[in-house]
Amino acid sequence: MAKFWFITGSQFLYGEETIRQVEEDSKVIVDGLKLPFPVEYKLTAKTEAEIEKVVREANYDEECAGIITFCHTFSPSKMWINGLTLLQKPWLHLHTQFNETIPNEAIDMDYMNLHQSAHGDREHGFIGARLRAPRTVVAGYWKDPAVQEKIAQWQRAAVGAKFSRSLKIVRFGDNMREVAVTEGDKVEAQIKLGWQVNTWAVGDLVQEMHKVTEAEIDALMAEYAKLYTFEEKDTEAIRYQAREEIAIEKILVREGAMAFSNTFQDLHGMKQLPGLASQHLMHKGYGFGAEGDWKTAGMTAIIKAMYPDGATSFMEDYTYDYKHELILGSHMLEVCPSIAADKPRIEVHHLGIGGKEDPARIVFEGKAGKAKAISLIDIGGRLRLISQDVTCEKPFQDMPNLPVARTMWRPEPSFLDGLTCWIIAGGAHHTVLSYEITTQAVHDFAAIMGIELVVIDKDTKPYTLERDLMLGDVIYARR
């Protein structure tokens, strides 16, 4: 379980009584934070040695996913330099104040000495800026739900970062031949994101499939029956997908991996492309990328870890409707049922690509709502994370001859400018579609990992974006 540490800054100048009050107030603040992950009050730091010690402890604590700092009084921040220089965990500077308003009668010099976040937090902010330290700054009254929501989103990004740094991705087979955007520097991905991306032979997967028992398949079929509807006549094809799912998951568990990729061009010894198998594994929290796309597999797994009960799926932009200004998103088979509007069905249909038997797949329509399309690309010399605001809509027609999971969405800032911006930024056709993730959480995650972020939202303009990307080339060339 991830935990966060709360460290208050102060000093000895105002006497013991003030420090005691600072400590009490800090505990009240920590108790008042209603967040997805617990926050633990650690100490009121008054010396360089105390700060260095607590940072070292945070770095080595398995559960600590980040630190939150706040300076209740004036805290000279030179005492924070050595500690913050050593810090290896995400940092949030909470620029708050114990009281919401300035009390007319109670305010005197003692009150001023105790309540000077507007003063001490600026010193603290300066040292963060001076160190060029990656941090998230949240300003506002700590009881305000909007302020707490910002802390919550940072927590999710920090949890995503923690998950990322231990993420293993199993690749069954290589990339789809000749495809560019799904390629990338796996060494760079491990340096920046911590991902261990390695390959496993499809032959080993097939051997594992042979070892799956009928009883194991029966148990998984019972689970399918609870979640999805299907017809008796399709049982045999569905049981084959269950066999594939069980074998894939056994390898993932054995390797400690939370994401995988495969490719229809390398299914030697397998009768069906894993459709239902990949979809149900995604539903359980595993990341998936088709055609060898380990980058989208990794990001899918991370966003699922950030929002465990959220609607998050591997996705692909397929076809446009210029008249309705909508993108049809789908895949050959592999879309996660967590984004389904209604109870999904399992169906078996012919698949023209791959030359295998008709695969069972989960079919549904994606739900309506605000979401983000997220793409991680290797732009050469650096990783770029692209996040585009989109609005998903119920498909306006039933498309009876397209028996796959599908959804439709309109990108920001407008349909055509949204497409233009995506193309300018180099975004892939594969994305992670997530309904819960916020721009702040994507930003905080990119900042923690030290990778480039491109946000395409209602305010983005193609020409300004082009200039930002050129500036990015200059910034990253200097690093």
Q: How far is the CB of 405 from Mn ion (least distance, A)?
A: 13
Query: Hey, what amino acid is at 88?
Result: Q
Could you give the CA distance from residue 461 to residue 184 in angstroms, rounded to a whole number?
A: 28
Query: Which residues, in sequence order, are bridge partners of residue 456?
Result: 388
Nearer to Mn ion, 257 or 290 (CB): 290
What residues contact residue 24 under an 8 Å CB cut-off, 6+ apart? none
Q: How far is the CB of 431 from Mn ion (least distance, A)?
A: 10
Q: How far is the CB of 151 from Mn ion (least distance, A)?
A: 37
Could you give the CA distance from residue 270 to residue 206 in angstroms, rounded to a whole number?
A: 7
Nearer to Mn ion, 69 or 272 (CB): 272
Nearer to Mn ion, 316 or 452 (CB): 316
What residues contact residue 231 under an 8 Å CB cut-off, 6+ apart? none
Q: How far is the CB of 60 from Mn ion (least distance, A)?
A: 41
Q: How far is the CB of 377 from Mn ion (least distance, A)?
A: 15
Nearer to Mn ion, 89 or 171 (CB): 171
Q: How far is the CB of 168 from Mn ion (least distance, A)?
A: 22
What's the gap between Cα 104 and its chain centre?
45
Nearer to Mn ion, 58 or 290 (CB): 290
Token look-up 């998230």 returns: 136
Nearer to Mn ion, 220 or 363 (CB): 363
Nearer to Mn ion, 266 or 316 (CB): 316
Nearer to Mn ion, 6 or 264 (CB): 264
Nearer to Mn ion, 196 or 265 (CB): 265
Q: How far is the CB of 354 from Mn ion (least distance, A)?
A: 12
- Give the residue at shortest CB distance from Mn ion: 290
Q: How far is the CB of 400 from Mn ion (least distance, A)?
A: 23
Q: How far is the CB of 293 from Mn ion (least distance, A)?
A: 7
Nearer to Mn ion, 217 or 335 (CB): 335
The overall longest dimension of the chain from CA atoms, in Å, is: 82
Q: How far is the CB of 430 from Mn ion (least distance, A)?
A: 6
Nearer to Mn ion, 318 or 415 (CB): 318
Q: How far is the CB of 176 from Mn ion (least distance, A)?
A: 8
Q: Count CB-CB contacts under 10 A for residue 202.
A: 17
Q: How far is the CB of 454 from Mn ion (least distance, A)?
A: 21
What residues contact residue 104 under an 8 Å CB cut-off, 6+ apart? none
Closest CA relative to residue 315, chosen from 227, 408, 432: 432
Nearer to Mn ion, 293 or 389 (CB): 293
Residues that bind Mn ion (CB under 5 A): 290-291, 316
Q: HEC states along the chain?
A: CCEEEEEEECCCCCCHHHHHHHHHHHHHHHHHCCCCCCEEEEEEECCHHHHHHHHHHHHHCCCEEEEEEEECCCCCHHHHHHHHHHCCCCEEEEECCCCCCCCCCCCCHHHHHHCCHHHHHHHHHHHHHHCCCCCEEEECCCCCHHHHHHHHHHHHHHHHHHHHCCCEEEEECCCCCCCCCCCCCHHHHHHHHCCEEEEECHHHHHHHHHHCCHHHHHHHHHHHHHHCECCHHHHHHHHHHHHHHHHHHHHHHHHCCCEEECCCCCCCCCCCCCCHHHHHHHHCCCEEECCCCHHHHHHHHHHHHHCCCCCEEEEEEEEEECCCCEEEEECCCCCCHHHECCCCEEEECCCCCCCCCCCEEEECEECCEEEEEEEEEECCCCEEEEEEEEEEECCCCCCCCCCCCEEEEEECCCHHHHHHHHHHHCCCCEEEEECCCCHHHHHHHHHHHCCEEEEECCCCCHHHHHHHHHHHHHHHHHC
Nearer to Mn ion, 170 or 290 (CB): 290
Q: How far is the CB of 316 from Mn ion (least distance, A)?
A: 5
